[in-house]
Amino acid sequence: MKNLMSLIDPIRKISSVLFISFALSCNSQQQPTKEQKQILETAKTNFVFVEGGTFIMGNNNYHYTTLEHQVTLDSYSISKYETTFKEFDVYSKLNNKEKLAFEYRDVKEFSGNYGAKWMNWYEAQSYCQWLGEQLNLPIDLPTEAQWEYAARSRGLDVEHATDSGKIEGSFTEKRNYPVYDTIVGAYPPNPLGLYDMSGGRPEWTNDWLVGYSKDTLVNPRYDTIHNYEEKMVRGWHNLRYSVYSRGGSREPDNDGSGVGFRCACNQKTPIE
């Protein structure tokens, strides 16, 4: 027995060393610098609390894919801005990932406080969930219902997520197609205090492309149930009904269509 124990002890030690090495390799994120911590803290303060409620999602006058139906949502928070290149760069740097759109980063609209683009759906979701881990909050991409409810300032009957609900004034400079040559927040927010949900980058949501139901829904999520192999993208800059448009679905590995994103926090109370 003594000889047997003398053989087991070294094996245990080797196993412990291997386990610790494996654990360290799985936790290879770099520690953030003071500047990077400040960027993360700013991302936290940029969440806007959205009080839950019941609204009519969709618009029968716009398109057959936007069938009106009643939806009830719990309260949540959503970022007032689209995720910027500066914010996404912190995620990439700390996780030893290649810088997003690295070959174009000397171009103005691929820098700093411009809305990040050229990430696929998986990368967008990964960023939001990573941000949640850094801030100890349940952060993810918003569902379609959360996106529309927020864009419409808790379900207002408007065409666009602007200060007036219309495309007018400074927003007319965007013309008939998306023009992304401004930093996030360059145009007035909607009444809820959210920027660029009309006229900014189209944005990834958490949901797969699914036809709207006629039934009343509570906190609908389509991150597992879907009809097609495409993720819903919302916020296309249309001259009519931009807060309802569902015409921009993309395959989740598509990273070349100029789509950006913002994150949502699935906490029923305001972030402190």
Label residue 19 by pLDDT band (50, 70, 90). Answer: very low
- Mean pLDDT of the chain, nearest integer: 87
Which token pair is 199?
């006229």
Residue with tokens 């097609």: 228
- Tell me if 19 is assigned to some domain: no
- The residue ranking higher by pLDDT, 253 or 239, is 253
User: 141 pLDDT exceeds 90?
Assistant: yes
pLDDT (mean) for 140-164: 97
Residue 197: CB partners within 8 Å, gap ≥ 6?
Answer: 147, 150, 151, 161, 190, 203, 235, 243
| Count of structural domains, the chain | 1
Is residue 73 one of the residues assigned to a domain?
yes
In-domain check, residue 8: no
Q: How confident is the model at residue 200 (pLDDT cuts 50, 70, 90)?
A: confident
**Token pair in block for residue 100:** 């997003």
Banded model confidence at residue 9, pLDDT cuts 50, 70, 90: low
Q: What is the pLDDT of residue 50?
A: 98
The answer as to whether 10 is a domain residue is: no
Average pLDDT over residues 116-124: 96
C-alpha neighbours within 13 Å on the C-beta side of residue 160 = 22
Give pLDDT, residue 7: 45
Tokens of 153: 């300032």
| Mean pLDDT of all residues in 260-268 | 98
For residue 70, the model assigns a pLDDT of 97
Q: What pLDDT was estimated at residue 173?
A: 54
Residue 2 placed within a domain: no
pLDDT digits (tens, 9 = 90+) for 169-178: 656 554 444 4
Q: Is the pLDDT of residue 151 over 80?
A: yes
Q: If residue 208 lies in a helix (H) or strand (E), which one and from where to where? A: strand 203-208
Tell me the per-residue pLDDT of 219-248, one tens digit each, with 9 for 90 and over. Answer: 999 988 777 899 999 998 777 899 999 977
Structure tokens at 56: 């009519």
Q: Does residue 27 form part of some domain?
A: no
CATH code where residue 199 lies: 3.90.1580.10
| Assigned domain for 13 exists | no
pLDDT at residue 112, as a whole number: 93
Choice between 258 and 15, residue whose per-residue pLDDT is larger: 258
Q: Would you state the pLDDT for residue 58?
A: 97
Residue 1 has pLDDT above 50, yes or no: no
For 146, left (φ over 0), alpha (ψ -120 to 50), or beta?
Answer: alpha
Q: Pairing between strand 69-73 and 53-57?
A: antiparallel
The range of the structural domain enclosing residue 173 comes to 33-265
Given a contact cutoff of 8 angstroms between Cβ atoms, the answer to whether 181 and 108 are in contact is: yes
pLDDT at 264 over 70: yes
pLDDT at res. 202 = 93
**Residue at 196 is within a domain:** yes
Q: Would you say residue 21 has pLDDT above 50?
A: no
